[in-house]
Amino acid sequence: MAAAQHSAGSGALKRAVGPWGSYTWGYADVGADIYVALGLVIATAAGAANVAFLFAGLIYVTVGLAYTELSAMYPLAGGGQVWVMRGLGDIFGFTAGWSVLLAFTVDIALFAFISVSYINRLLPGVVNHLPWVVVESLGLVLILLILNVRGVRESSRLNEIAGGIDILAESGLIFIGFLLAFAPHYYAQQVGYFWGHFDTSRLLLGTSLAIISFVGLESISQAAQETQRPTTVIPRTSIALILTILAYAIALSNLALGVVSWQSYDPSSTGRKFCGHLARAACQEAHRQHENAPMVWLATHLPYVGPFMAPVIAFLGAILLLISSNSGVYGSSRIVYAMAKNDLMPKFFTKISPRFNTPVVALLVFCAIAAIELVGAGLTPNTLQTLAEMYAFSAAVNYLLVFVALLRLRFTDPETPRSFRVPWNVPIRRKGETYSVPIIGVLGMLSLMSVLGMVILTNPIGRKFGPAWVVLGLIFYVFYRRRRRLPVLRSVPRDWSAEQLEAYEDSGELELADEYRDALRRRKRLDRGDAEAPIL
């Protein structure tokens, strides 16, 4: 029976997301990231900010291709957590899912916090002072919780409208900026300053923070079980998203270096020289305003249109950051839903609201965790930096495990149809059979290992609280599995084939269902040594 036809009590999710909705789920996450990361990366990497974004963008391309192949193969709620569990086993699947939960809960807190910063830029006389920004952010989280309890259609519609408007606005900002404001000599001066005073640690830290500019493809995969024709829609929307975000990140970072001084984003002693006559407290407040709303600071410097463009960018930034926080609410609840269905988390997380058909318990619990993270980060010297470092660690761990799963599944699950395949494959013979290994997959895995090392070396918050989150999660996992008398290091037996066939049929991918059945029958014949027998 199709998921949409299940009763609310059966724990089924509605298929309500189409191609534009799928694209904007991802864009809401990734497109909003530049509104946060631009200031952080320029403040850290200075004139090499464009290089940091480029390095992160190349890694993002490899991640995006891996996600595209796997999400088209397995149109199930859970995304990377499900793929890792299928490829590597339950305990690794839990680790991936638990890491993504950190990313999504930080996503909720981080983007709500920055959304408030952009909103406050629209209100005369309102300044981004703590703790009021945290209080306002908590109010936004509560609103998003109510919205998501009501259902995915309402949430998806918000993404679709705001995402489309923001694409036009960012494109306009880039076009006008390069046409009217970009100064090649000033750009060369800023880039040359960094390379003339090269600092490896700043470049590494900037690159690790730039990774957060490209987190969001997980949102598309989270919606797979609620997407119409997912194996057809998801590859198209994922590739479109990869190209869109890569182009925007590279263009905006280069534009910023040719328009505004990188020191204006830097709250350190180097950046304070930019403030001139301002007192130290006033200077730090100015930097905080620029860092927390970097796109507005860039738009302000556009000649002729700056006074009109800045409030438009502030408004759109606030909305897009709000729906990105909304994607975190949505994604965390769906991850927990999938983990609970697969005996990685308590079963009460699969409880579905009989009125709205949404995972209400998961929504409540993980919005509460996001609120705790928001308050905790608000007690640190730099709220934004604290949340960003936690985000970078969790994303790096999850993406690394996804790459390992991608490579392993090429050997352990060749039967599943791949409507999209990561390019540049090398054939390998093993036990009389030929398998294809993606070169991009290997490069992506090695790159993510390097990024994780960068995060641990350069992010003091990330290297403390990130591993602590993973360790606490594994302790919880061991306790839960033992209480349920389930294996801790081994996996629970599952009928993956039946679940996958049901997902194909439920989503209308009947040709893929038939192709998968034929591949399974062929595998059974080969296992019996009956290679010449006809397919039944």
pLDDT tens digits, 22-73: 777 677 667 778 888 888 898 888 889 999 999 988 998 899 899 889 988 8
**Residue 467 sits in the same domain as residue 502:** no
In a domain, 10, yes or no: no
Q: What is the dihedral of CA 476, 481, 350, 4, to 10 degrees?
A: 130
Judged by average pLDDT, the poorest of 9-23, 52-66, 194-208, 408-422 is 9-23
Give the DSSP letter of residue 17: B
In a domain, 5, yes or no: no
**Residue 457 sits in the same domain as residue 514:** no
Cα 371 to the center of its chain, rounded Å: 19
Q: Does residue 269 register a pLDDT over 60?
A: no
**Residue 518 sits in the same domain as residue 441:** no
CB neighbour class for 415 (10 Å; exposed up to 12, middle 13-18, buried from 19): middle
**pLDDT bracket for residue 279 (50, 70, 90):** very low
- Domain around 315: 23-483
The residues near 355 (Cβ < 8 Å, ≥ 6 apart) are 8
**Residue 218 sits in the same domain as residue 274:** yes
Q: What is the pLDDT of residues 69-125, one digit of tens each?
A: 998 888 776 678 889 999 999 999 999 999 989 988 998 999 999 999 888 888 876
The DSSP annotation for 422-457 comes to: -SSEEEEEETTEEEEEEHHHHHHHHHHHHHHHHHHH
Query: Does the model's pTM come out above 0.95?
Result: no
**Residue 367 sits in the same domain as residue 508:** no
According to the per-residue pLDDT averaged within each range, which of 59-68, 152-161, 219-228, 526-535 is highest? 59-68
Split into its structural domains, the chain has a count of 2
Q: How far apart are CA 93 and CA 283, in angstroms?
A: 46
In a domain, 98, yes or no: yes
**pLDDT bracket for residue 8 (50, 70, 90):** very low
In a domain, 492, yes or no: no
Give the DSSP letter of residue 181: I
**Residue 479 sits in the same domain as residue 510:** no
In a domain, 296, yes or no: yes
Q: How far apart are CA 111 and CA 91, in angstroms?
A: 30
**Residue 101 sits in the same domain as residue 204:** yes
**Residue 505 sits in the same domain as residue 457:** no
In a domain, 377, yes or no: yes
**Residue 515 sits in the same domain as residue 407:** no
**Residue 228 sits in the same domain as residue 271:** yes
**Residue 367 sits in the same domain as residue 512:** no
In a domain, 14, yes or no: no
Tokens at 502, concatenated: 């049901």
SS3 (DSSP) at 141: helix
In a domain, 15, yes or no: no
Give the DSSP letter of residue 493: P
**Residue 418 sits in the same domain as residue 375:** yes
Tokens at 107, concatenated: 């996503």
